[in-house]
Structure 1
Amino acid sequence: MKVSSSKALCLVLLLASIAPTSGAEAPSITTSFNEFWTAAKGQPFLQQEHAWNRTIEATRRDIYDSVVWEKQQDPYWQARRQIWLKARFAKYPALAADIPAEVHAVQDAVAKQSVRFKMLFPDADTHPPITILLAPNFDAKSGVLSSGKPVLAFAADSLLLEHAQLDIVVPHELFHLYHAQHAGIRNDGVMPDAPLTLPLFEEGLATYVSGELAPGHTDGELLLEDELGAIPANKLPDIARRFLADARSKAIDAEHPEIFKRWFNAAPKPYQQGLPNRSGYWLGLQVIRYLRRTYTLAQMAAWSPAQAEAQVMAALQQISA
């Protein structure tokens, strides 16, 4: 299909804008990875870690501290970091040759989907704050830099490992960034003192948006898990009732982290009898579809956290009745 000159120019500008958020002095992540792997390939872990610190994190310190490792929120980040890095370095021999192509694929997907996203949300940034990096603990993630600025990070190595469908993942994450900037719903709704209804709303709305921008996919594809897409529609009232029992719980609860996990986390074993893990994503999508009968997408995207929480509670109660 022929692309108009104005759209082509937008693509070029958007591709140029996808740079490390720590500053223009940082090299491309492909250049950094090649330098890292040249020094680290076949070496003991401590030497690999030293090369990683020097070539990957040193020029991207803020985003690694604030978004990747979440040093301020996680008292155990150092131990987790070592475990994650050791596991990821072990996979790089099989991944290394394909990482540059994956970085390019992510850049291309971001550029194309950003143009489409701005058509759906005209007030979205022309140059959204996005960085492509390497990370062993997520594939794509919204976060907040030390300055308070929202940012979106794509981990090319994790996306490559997952064989991720970028036309689904990218618009989903673009919405999380947009939502943080325009409605103050940050960290995908997992905010201090936020009840569980907020991540339910946030993930449901982002999944809905990805379906709008990547039409033709099944629910299983949009939810990144066929088992979620196979949940029968007639189970919706029962699942809504089950969620309502947890709805007032905090998304971040150091004493009861299992409440959030049983609705939103992946794990080898099921958290709930008769429900696949991450069922909160499925339920969130159904809640958004229910709310769309009354509200436009633009209206819902503009709701404050308090408005979103109230609307979700009302919808869950009506769905479960």
Structure 2
Amino acid sequence: MMGRLLAFLMLAMFTAGAARAQAMRDMVADFDAFAARTAGMAEGARVAAFKRTLGPILPGIYDPTSSAGDRAVARALAQWPVKRGAILDARDRARAAYRTGLVRFGRAFPGFRPTMPVYLIHSLGQMDGGTREIRGRAVLMFGADVIADIHAGEAIAPLVDHELFHTYHQRFFADCPQLWCPLWAEGLATYVTVSMNPNATDSELLLDYPAPIRAATDARMRQALCHARANLDTTDETLLSSFTDGSHKGGPYPARFGYYLGYRIAEHMGRDLTLDQLARLKPAEVRDRIARAIDSYGRCGNATD
């Protein structure tokens, strides 16, 4: 009994400490207040006021320097009365998923301690979740507007877990320009997300964006694996984008198929290693482990298609 009580108290202390260290800043509320306060302004003056008022809080996000960026601000403000309810609902669901996500991560990754600032924002259509740099410091952001658009009625926990894992994984694994790096980083994040959310749908895992990825890749899995095997060290941007870019068109594989391919590779490696052991693998050994995981499906020879 005392042991269970102690465990409960330790978990409660972790959760409270994490919440204090890593409170999510809700800038959707700032956007809402600004939109209400400036509803009667002319578009140009309203955009200028937005950049002047909110731009200093999120430089690089809320202070666009291009006409396209200004149009995005104007469009978001003009659409706010119609989209407000759905975005505020997405905001509330994201906040709840983040609070429970901190607890889930404390259990799955004992060394996890949240340190990166977290913002919940109207992203002007830029993201559902991801890291950005603000004043030279990496921050984690969740875009309630995009969450409302592409995760309507869905669980938000898989998205939160995916992005939280990236903040943890970067302690042990640095980006590199070769294909094997994003293949590992995104594939492992997807595998962790599936492991922590076993009932998640492909839509919640973004494995159907911009079109279903799983079935189309499974149909050519051997060729896809050999294609990756032959190009693990490439830095060619066009080839890299064919694996990870949602806007990529053409070729025999669906856009962003590298996320699913990396997931299957991490899944294979996870037969022998825990999630935390996978996260802590040294970069020097990851590349060869990926190659061996692919080879375990059968030798590719010189296959490159």
What's the TM-score once normalised by structure 1's chain length? 0.76
Match of 2:162 in 1: 172
Query: Which residue of 223, 230, 248 corresponds with 1:238?
Result: 223
Q: Which amino acid aligns with 1:230?
A: A
Q: Aligned letter for 2:256?
A: R
CA distance in 2, matches of 1:223, 1:128: 24
> 2:109: which partner in 1?
121
Deviation at 1:54?
A: 3.0
Identify the match of residue 36 of structure 1 among 26, 29, 34.
34
Partner residue of 1:196? 179
Tell me if structure 1 keeps the 8 A contact 2:18–2:113.
no
Matching of residue 295 in structure 1 with residue 273 in structure 2: yes
Describe the superposition over 1:279-318 as per-residue Cα deviations: whole angstroms up to 9, x where unpaired.
0011011110111123332222012333323322332344
- Quote the offset at 1:144 in angstroms: 4.1
Alignment of 1:130-149 (within 5 A): 130-135=118-123, 136-147=125-136, 149=137
1:191-235, Cα deviation, whole Å (9 max, x unpaired): 4xx201111111111111111221212455424417223246463
Equivalent residue in structure 1 for 2:249, among 252, 255, 270: 270
In our comparison, the structure showing a higher alpha carbon Rg is 2
Q: Is the 8 A contact 1:132 1:154 kept in 2?
A: yes
Counterpart CA distance in 1 for 2:13 and 2:291 is: 44
For 1:146 and 1:108, locate their aligned partners in 2 and report how far apart those are by CA, in whole Å.
28
Q: Match for 1:124: what amino acid?
A: F
Say if 2:217 and 2:257, in contact at 8 Å, map to a contact too: no
**Aligned partners of 2:220, 2:207: CA distance in 1, in Å?**
20
Higher mean C-alpha deviation, range 8-17 or range 133-142:
8-17
Amino acid corresponding to residue 49 of structure 2 in structure 1: A
Contact 2:97 2:156 in 1 (8 A): yes
Q: Does 1:18 align with 2:23?
A: yes
Distance 1:316 1:86 in 2: 48
Residue 209 of structure 1 corresponds to which residue in structure 2? 192
Structure 2 residue aligned with 1:81, among 44, 50, 69? Answer: 69
Aligned to 1:53: 51
1:310 to 275, 282, 288: 288
User: Structure 2 CA distance, aligned partners of 1:144 and 1:303?
Assistant: 25
Q: Secondary structure at the match of 1:230?
A: helix
Q: Contact 2:91/2:120 (CA < 8 Å) preserved in 1?
A: yes
Read off the aligned partner of 1:270 and give its amino acid letter: K
User: 2:28–2:144: 8 Å Cα contact kept in structure 1?
Assistant: no
Secondary structure of residue in 2 paired with 1:151? strand
* 8 Å Cα contact 1:103-1:132 kept in structure 2: yes
Task: Indicate the residue corresponding to 2:232 in structure 1.
Answer: 247
The aligned amino acid for 2:164 is: L
Q: 1 CA distance for matches of 2:19 and 2:86?
A: 20
Residues 38, 51 of structure 1: alpha-carbon distance in 2 compared, 3 angstrom cutoff: farther
> Is 1:203–1:284's contact at 8 Å kept on the other side of the alignment?
yes
Amino acid at match of 1:103: R
Residue in 2 aligned with 1:110?
98
- Structure 2: distance between partners of 1:234 and 1:115: 38
- Taking the aligned partners of 1:82 and 1:244, their CA distance within structure 2 comes to 43
Distance 1:168 1:7, change over 3 A: same
TM-score, normalised with respect to structure 2 = 0.80
User: Percent identity at matched positions?
Assistant: 22
Q: Which runs of 5+ in 1 are unaligned?
A: 21-27, 251-255
C-alpha deviations, 1:45-88, integer Å up to 9, x for none? 42232232133322233xxx3xx48x9xxxx9735533543554
More helix by proportion, 1 or 2? 1
User: What's the offset of the Cα at 1:170?
Assistant: 0.5
Q: CA RMSD in A?
A: 3.0
Specify whether residues 82 and 305 from structure 1 end up closer, same or farther in structure 2 by C-alpha distance, changes over 3 A only. Answer: farther
Matching residue of 1:228: 213
CA distance in 2, matches of 1:168, 1:102: 14
The alignment partner of 1:142 has SS state of strand
